[in-house]
Amino acid sequence: MVVLGIDPGGANTGYGVIESKDGRLRHIDSGCIRPSRKLAFAEKLLVIYRGVSDLLDSREFDALAIEDVYQGINARTAARIGHVRGIVLLAAAERDIPVSEYPPNEIKSAVVGNGHASKEQVKFMTEQILRPDRQFESYDEADGVAAAICWCHRHQEQALR
């Protein structure tokens, strides 16, 4: 199973691609889609949409896992994250890729064992679990990877195939 995890954000949208085979997880790719800060928000959405679309077209995916909007952020930020989530969901739907949505505390719990873990702890544990060739460059990248790991943990029966 190949899973794409997404941490949606207007400034940085983190992603992680992992493979789950025979109960083992392998890091394939990860990074961030970073639209220029000079762009209008609609143009940033277009950059993110194209980046996610390119990712989804780069290989065959069995699932997409995306972080849900968390409580406690201001309404403007929540709305912007909602827009980014919408274009990611659209890109997946256009390609018939099943989507699972997880609240941040569920993703943190799946990776760290603590739903209130810090971004540093999530980054550390994703690197410990997957042992990628390089350290993740940002918390957004690690959060995208963590979403994919969460999918594999929540769908162990499918992930074992």
Residues with catalytic annotation?
7, 67, 140
Rounded Cα distance, 146 and 144, in Å: 5
Residues 105, 116 contacting (CB under 8 angstroms)? yes
Which residue has 């679990």 as its token pair?
A: 129
Rounded Cα distance, 146 and 125, in Å: 9
Rounded Cα distance, 81 and 57, in Å: 23
Strand order in the sheet with 99-102: 24-33, 13-21, 2-7, 63-67, 99-102
